[in-house]
């Protein structure tokens, strides 16, 4: 699969489908594009072209501590640059969990590049912020403080990145320990600053100002609560709502495949994409 250089990083990407409106789907957490591949294949089979990519510091894309703003803003601007480098028209963008945050941030920062927005498993609320602050950042700050970059290499995420490409260990070991701690701490502060927003990555005012088609599919675990999804949908003018799970679970997190399987999720997603794609520009 190809790579493209944008914003000082090499992004690993793939396009599924040969014709139709353009869609970008983004996975959650720091997982690779493979998490949403099953859904993407179904969307492509329904007549869309689907852009998948590994965000920086995930999958087979470059590792980097550079960039201004939150990690999610950096990811959003990377995808915007990737779409631009491929010459894509305004596209429908969507994702789950952190992919939903990326998609929402890109839509808000780069309105001209957006035809529609799919928001799956919206993240918001104090529980989610506290949990994700540790999962995304605190564990790595503590690892670096306790054992330097060698200990960071032993954490699950960085160990997985090294398993993909063994040369990454030397790259990570060459990072300045203090700079790594500073970057992770800054990204953590950016995430925690959204504790009072309806969702991580977007204020109530920003959501109320959205003027493009939106579809919200709430999650049902404690990180992606039904309540968070419902509150966000109510703020966005004209946003569609599809509540595919009505049972709020008392567990921190469930995988996307356990939330709703692709064969049930795809018809809802394709239906929304079709309604948007009927008026979208096809390059």
Write out pLDDT tens, residues 27-44.
Answer: 999 999 999 999 999 999
pLDDT at 282 over 80: no
Q: How many percent of the chain have pLDDT more than 90? A: 97
pLDDT tens digits, 185-232: 999 999 999 999 999 999 999 999 999 999 999 999 999 999 999 999
pLDDT at 22: 97
What's the whole-model pTM score? 0.96
pLDDT at 1: 75
Cα(275)–Cα(8) distance, rounded to whole angstroms?
A: 36
Number of H helices, E strands in the chain: 12, 8
Cα(85)–Cα(92) distance, rounded to whole angstroms?
A: 17
pLDDT tens digits, 128-145: 999 999 999 999 999 999
Confidence grade of residue 280 (pLDDT, cut at 50, 70, 90): low
Question: What CATH number labels 3-124+205-277?
Answer: 3.40.50.1820
Cα R_g (the chain), whole angstroms: 18
In the chain, domain spans: 3-124+205-277, 129-191
pLDDT at 95: 98
pLDDT at 277: 82
pLDDT at 174: 98
Cα(15)–Cα(49) distance, rounded to whole angstroms?
A: 7
Confidence grade of residue 279 (pLDDT, cut at 50, 70, 90): low
State the average pLDDT for the chain: 96
């Amino acid at each position: 699969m190809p790579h493209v250089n944008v914003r000082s990083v090499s992004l690993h990407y793939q396009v599924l489908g040969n014709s139709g409106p353009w869609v970008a789907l983004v996975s959650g957490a720091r997982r690779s594009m493979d998490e949403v591949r099953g859904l993407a294949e179904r969307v492509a089979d329904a007549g869309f072209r689907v852009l998948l990519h590994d965000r920086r510091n995930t999958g087979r894309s470059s590792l980097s501590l550079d960039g201004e703003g939150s990690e999610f803003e950096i990811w959003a601007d990377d995808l915007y640059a990737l779409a631009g480098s491929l010459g894509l028209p305004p596209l429908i963008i969507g994702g789950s969990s952190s992919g939903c945050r990326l998609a929402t941030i890109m839509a808000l920062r780069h309105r001209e590049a957006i035809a529609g927005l799919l928001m799956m498993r919206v993240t918001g609320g104090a529980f989610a912020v506290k949990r994700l602050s540790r999962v995304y950042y605190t564990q790595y700050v503590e690892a670096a403080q306790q054992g330097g970059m060698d200990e960071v290499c032993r954490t699950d995420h960085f160990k997985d990145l090294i398993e993909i490409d063994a040369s990454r260990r030397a790259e990570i070991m060459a990072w300045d320990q203090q700079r790594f701690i500073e970057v992770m701490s800054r990204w953590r502060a950016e995430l925690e600053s959204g504790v009072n927003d309806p969702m991580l990555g977007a204020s109530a005012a920003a959501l109320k100002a959205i003027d493009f088609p939106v579809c919200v599919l709430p999650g049902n675990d404690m990180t992606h609560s039904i309540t968070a999804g419902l509150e966000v949908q109510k703020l966005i003018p004209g946003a569609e709502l599809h509540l595919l799970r009505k049972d709020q679970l008392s567990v921190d997190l469930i995988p996307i495949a356990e939330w709703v399987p692709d064969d049930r999720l795809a018809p809802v997603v394709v239906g929304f994409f079709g309604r948007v794609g009927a008026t979208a520009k096809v390059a």
